[in-house]
Amino acid sequence: MKEKITVIKVGGKIVEEGASLAALLDRFAAIEGRKVLIHGGGRSATRIAEQLGIESKMVDGRRITDGETLKVVTMVYGGLVNKNIVAGLQARGVNALGLTGADCNIIKAHKRPVKSIDYGFVGDVECADGDMLSRLIEQGITPIVAPLTHDGKGNILNTNADTMAAETAKALAPIYDTTLIYCFELPGVMRNQEDADSLITTITCESYKQLLADGTISGGMIPKMENAFNAINNGVSKVIITKADAIEGTNGTHIIA
Alpha helices in the chain, H assignment, sequence order:
12-16, 18-30, 42-51, 67-75, 82-90, 130-137, 161-172, 205-213, 221-232
If binding is defined by CB under 8 A, does position 67 make contact with a second copy?
Answer: no
Q: Of 87 and 205, which has the nearer Cβ to a second copy?
A: 87
Number of residues that bind a second copy (CB under 8 A): 42
Q: What are phi and psi of 226, to 5 degrees?
A: -60, -40
Binding track, positions 125-154, relative to a second copy; x by CB under 8 A = -------x--xx--x-x------x-x-xxx
**Distance from C-alpha of 110 to C-alpha of 45, rounded to nearest angstrom:** 22
Of the residues 51, 115, 195, 213, which one makes contact with a second copy according to CB under 8 A: 51
Return all residues near 18 (Cβ < 8 A) that are at least 6 apart.
Answer: none
Q: Please report how close the Cβ of residue 59 comes to a second copy at its closest, in angstroms.
A: 24
Of the residues 156, 169, 171, 241, which one makes contact with a second copy according to CB under 8 A: 156
Of the residues 23, 48, 127, 212, which one makes contact with a second copy according to CB under 8 A: 48
Angle at alpha carbon of residue 171, lines to 168 and 174, rounded to 5°: 140
Of the residues 78, 130, 187, 252, which one makes contact with a second copy according to CB under 8 A: 78
- Cβ atoms within 10 Å, residue 17: 14
Instruction: Let me know: does 144 contact 97? Beta carbons within 8 Å.
Output: yes
Q: Of 47 and 243, which has the nearer Cβ to a second copy?
A: 47
**Distance from C-alpha of 239 to C-alpha of 67, rounded to nearest angstrom:** 35
Q: Of 72 and 180, which has the nearer Cβ to a second copy?
A: 72
List residues binding a second copy (CB under 8 A): 48, 51-53, 71, 74-80, 82-84, 86-88, 90-91, 95-100, 102-105, 132, 135-136, 139, 141, 148, 150, 152-156
